[in-house]
Structures are given as structure tokens and as C-alpha cells.
């Protein structure tokens, strides 16, 4: 079982979260019409073995977006952080 330590809610079962993909992919620039870049961003994903950063949404909790660093071979969660720092500068 994967346990994710949400920075807002504390440790929770992964069933409260929705996996949203690779957190290292860079979105094409706003207004970009480069179809190859959009195809790559939307459809093509690596399937890494080992430590990887992933986006998770705490759908059944605080609704925050998180970057979870997880070992894909053991499912050990190494770190969890808010995907976007707060505007107050506190995180």
C-alpha cells in the first residue's frame, strides 16, 4: 500500500489521491501551435524504473496538487511537496 504524507492533511492512503502523471514534463508555452510539442506533452510518457517525480491530486482531502517523489520499483514515497508554492511565501 502506498501512503502519501500530505503536507496539509498528514499521512493518507493513496486511494484518496488521483495520479496525474509525470511531474517533470514541461508544458508547451501558452498559445503554442507546435503540434509535435503538444502531442509529446499530452500522449508520450516514459515508464521509469526507480525514483521519479509524479503529480498527485488529493481529490478526497484538501484538493491540493502535490509533487510526490516515489520509487516506482518499491513504491516507497521519498518526498511530498505542494506542486505550486503558496502566494504568501510560506510554502
Does any domain span residue 85? yes
Does any domain span residue 73? yes
Q: In this prediction, what percent of the chain has a pLDDT beyond 70?
A: 92
Q: What's the rounded Cα separation, in Å, for the pair 68 and 27?
A: 18
Is the separation of the CB atoms in 53 and 41 below 8 Å? no
Does any domain span residue 39? yes
Does any domain span residue 8? no
Q: How many domains does the chain have?
A: 1
- The residue segments making up the domain with residue 71 are 16-25+33-91
Cell numbers found for residue 63: 484538493
Does any domain span residue 51? yes
Does any domain span residue 53? yes
pLDDT, block means (10 residues), the chain with 91 residues: 94 96 92 95 88 96 97 96 70 45
Q: What is the CATH number of the domain that holds 61?
A: 3.30.2270.10
At residue 87, the pLDDT reads 59
Does any domain span residue 68? yes
Q: What's the rounded Cα separation, in Å, for the pair 51 and 69?
A: 7
pTM of the predicted protein model: 0.81
Cell numbers found for residue 8: 496539509
Does any domain span residue 84? yes
Amino acid at each position: 500500500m502506498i501512503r502519501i504524507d500530505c503536507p496539509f492533511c498528514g499521512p493518507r492512503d493513496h486511494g484518496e489521491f488521483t495520479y496525474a502523471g509525470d511531474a517533470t514534463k514541461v508544458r508547451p508555452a501558452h498559445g503554442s501551435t507546435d503540434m509535435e510539442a503538444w502531442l509529446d506533452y499530452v500522449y508520450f510518457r516514459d515508464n521509469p524504473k526507480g525514483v521519479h517525480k509524479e503529480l498527485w491530486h488529493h481529490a478526497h482531502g484538501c484538493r491540493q496538487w502535490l509533487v510526490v517523489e516515489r520509487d516506482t520499483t518499491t513504491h516507497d514515497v521519498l518526498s511530498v511537496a505542494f506542486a505550486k508554492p503558496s502566494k504568501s511565501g510560506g510554502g
